[in-house]
Amino acid sequence: MNLKEAWEKFYFFVWKDDSPKGWLITFIFLFILIKFIFFPTLSFVTGTALPLAIVESCSMYHEGNYISNYDTWWNHWEEKYENLDVTKEQFSEFKFKRGFTKGDILFIIKAKPEKIKIGDVIIFDAGRGNPIIHRVIKITEENNEKTFTTIGDNVGIVQSFETKISEDQLVGKAVLRIVPYAGWMKLIFFEHLRPEYEKGFCDQN
Instruction: Return d(Cα 46, Cα 107) in angstroms, integer.
Output: 9
Domain match, 30 and 87 both: no
Mean pLDDT value of segment 53-81: 92
Name the domain count of the chain: 2
pLDDT value of residue 98: 93
Domain match, 78 and 160 both: yes
Domain match, 26 and 120 both: no
Mean pLDDT value of segment 56-81: 92
- Return the CATH number at 174: 2.10.109.10
The range of the structural domain enclosing residue 147 comes to 50-204
Domain match, 105 and 118 both: yes
Residue percentage of the chain with pLDDT more than 70: 92
- Band of residue 102 on the pLDDT scale cut at 50, 70, 90: very high
Domain match, 166 and 114 both: yes
Domain match, 144 and 188 both: yes
Mean pLDDT of the chain: 90
